[in-house]
Structure 1
Amino acid sequence: MTSAYILIVAVLVMGGVLATLGDRIGTRVGKARLSLFKLRPRNTATVVTIITGSLISASTLGILFGLSESLRDGVFKLDDILKKLRQARGEIEMVNQQKTQGEKELATARSQQAQVEQRLNQTNRSFQQAQTQLKKVSNQASILRKEIQALLGERQKLIGEKNKLSKEKTQALQEKAQALQEKAQILQEKDKALQEKAQALQEKDKALQEKDRVIADISKRETFLKTEIQSLLGERQRLIQEQNQLIQDKDLVIAKIQEQEIVLKDAIAQRENRLQEIEVQLAQKETQIAERDQQRQELEKQFAFLQQQVDVLEQYYQDYQDLRQGSVALLRGQVLSFRVVRVVEPKVASAALDQLLREANRTAINIIRPSNSDPDEPLVQITENQANQFINQIKDGQDYVVRLLSAGNYVMGEKQIQVFADAVPNQVVFKSGDVLSSVAIDASTMTDAEIQQRLDQLLTVSQFRARRAGILGKIQIGDGNATPLIRFIEQVKKSNQPLDVTTVASQETYTAGPLEIKLVAIKNGQVIFSN
């Protein structure tokens, strides 16, 4: 503030002194009636006054421009500053929109996570209840299986007894039938004997009286044998009836067992159907639980990503506040040195770090202390732990894009600047023809300002996506010449038709860059023109 007062006083004093000198010189020239360049004395005095006023203006501007760097920048670089200011405001507005959208998505993700956790708890309770029911049904099924096994054993036992009784009855009947056959054979033999005796009686009339007694005895024996035969036949009939009764009883028992088997089989089938339904429900529940777990994991990933985005946006917002205050000369994360290195021998890694530190130190001195005459003054510092990690990372013989970045915001005149090292493998990020972004433009319905705004948004989004993809080096339109870009914009404005303007990578690009962006105008899948 003191230097400004001194500057104002110096300008006023210098203007007053020069005005006084100009007035005196003009007066003397007028009185002396001098003539310059063959002019009249009055015109000569006028010329002297004009020259004096020009000297006053020139000295004033010279003092102002010589002593005030900000005034020089404001006069000669005002257009560039305003352009950068508009771009910064656009980026800030986009960042604020992204921050608002991120906060909304974060709130939505949190509410969805709460709903998912609530549903997961309810599903766990249902799963536990289903497991309890499954255990009960399994126990009941085990009991039924045991009962069925016992009934089947009893059935087999009864069938065995039935077969045994049938064999015994059949054997007894066969023995009795054989005895009856033997008795019938005896009767047949006796009948034959009687026939022979009757024939003998017919032949011998004289022996009839003697043989009457024999015939009577034979009649008694026949009666006895008939009685025996009838009793045997009645016993056989009774045995057959008893066997039939036993068979009927066995059949009734078997029918009851079969009915019980049918009932048990139906119950088992119902239980098995129920078990299958429960297993299907359990499988569905497990599938739902797996899907819920997967959704929960995805939501957790989205939440973590959104949280990172919120942190980044908050950091951008803080940097923007620092920029608005106008006191920050070096921003947090600003690149101080940048190059691609390959360390074949591990011993060379420390030398590569030293060279990066020297470059970063010179860059920081030019920003923080532009008037410093000692460019080798140690201003940049890095912690030993970070340096060791950086050296161990780059000494494997691969290509790395290495950078030294500012660890914080620093103002003019800082005596110490803390930096941190970043090393990223230099690998292919974009192939030739990869699409970065696209926007629709209709020159027939849009004004030139709207077309320019759309193209600016397209380039901003393309640059943002390229940075997100891993490009650390320079990002430019074509070879950096503005003429092809201007021609492309003019062609878009003159096309007077709806187009899809797309940004693509013009060649294979590594992490170190530079990324050359090519603008392509497409309609119905056909390329109309490009830059």
Structure 2
Amino acid sequence: MSDVGLILILVVLVLGGVIATVGDRLGTRVGKARLSLFNLRPKQTAVVVTILTGTLISASTLGVLLLASKTFREMLLNFGRIQTELRDRGRDLEKAATDLKATDAQKAQVEKQLTEARSERAQVEEQLKRINADLKTSIDRQRETNAQLRTTEAQRDLTRRQLVAVSGQALKLRSDINQLQSEQKTLITQRDQVKQQIAERDAEIAERTKLIEQRDREINERDQVIGQRETDLKRLEAQRASLTATLQQIERDVELIRSGDLAIYRTQVLSSGVVRVGNSEGAKAAIDQLLQYANRSAVEALRLGRDDLQIVQIRTTEVESLIQQIRNGQDYLVRVQALANYVKGENKPVFVYMSAVPNRVVFSAGETIAAQTIDPSKLAPQDFQRSIQELLAVSNTRARVAGVLNDNIQIEKLLTLGSFIDQLRRYPTPVELRAIASDTTYTAGPLKIELVAVQNGQVVLRASS
């Protein structure tokens, strides 16, 4: 509390005490002298003097507050204008919410176009799979693009959920502000009622004065809470704007992926390898070699035309931490991944980060990775290839969940796959199509699978037969 506030309180107390003392003295003397005013009895005259004294105390207190406190004077005189400004701000917030809904509708349209683009991409993949010479390169490139697209879409969905949460918080804050304003009106009404009762009940002046002060403090507290809620609302609006900008950036990344201008995408593995070293020198040499491979991959992806460029950069502290992790003589899968997106022809440093995970056994040879039951007699010719693609997709998903970090799936005896499908069509009863691991699969991958057809628990057809 400031010195001015202390002086103001002291003046109000002293002034009230002086007026009360004078009124008491005056009332006593009027009573003793048995004076009569306005043809009233002496006792009634004393009561009138006491009431006038109480009224003078209230008037002097209100006058001192109005003259000395600018804040109190503005609150009392401009209360209607303040409420009007609060309503205007509420209408502005509702307009912003309407604009946000329109933006969400536009996003839904973009997502519909994205679904159509995926359908077209699936048709192109089926055509590319018929070209055996470029099959492996096309599958690798498509899986990398799909992984980045899923990561980007997951980021977009997370950002959209955050936007919904922020909007919900904003609506809650608006509701709290309206409730506090209603409570403020109620408190003001109660305060006015208490002031009116002071003039009628002189015996309860002291108690009612305390109640008024309490109501005033509550009103001030409600004003502070309203101010805090408005501050929080502004902060949430700023956070929503930031999330919207992030979502727009993610949408731009998706467009870059579709257009094919993106040479290196965020989290793309530029190089990887399984290392086993027992000292810091060996660990440093292995890391340097992986960074060289990553630099070569980055230069080729960006199509800079020079093999001698050193564009890959990583923090020294991260390299030192990785050396301490892998120098214990165990097998580790070490990967070098990009920190951001880079466009073709962009000649600037490519910042990367490195990670190392133990290279453990994930699948044993002969283990079933995924299975699907089909009825060859009810499937059209094109449905067989679609069923195999779905089985491979499920296998890839399970491998990632189990810990295989290489998305590349290798199908054993791929050249006999057409013959496998032709023989499968001849079965008149349902069979179970399985993808089994043809070799022991580690964290580093890749997952090598073999396609088999099982009926009544017995293998009746293999893709390698």
Which TM-score bucket, shorter chain as reference? 0.3 to 0.5
| TM-score, normalised by the number of residues in structure 1 | 0.41
Which protein is bigger by CA-based radius of gyration? 1
- More helix per residue: 1
| TM-score, normalised by the number of residues in structure 2 | 0.46
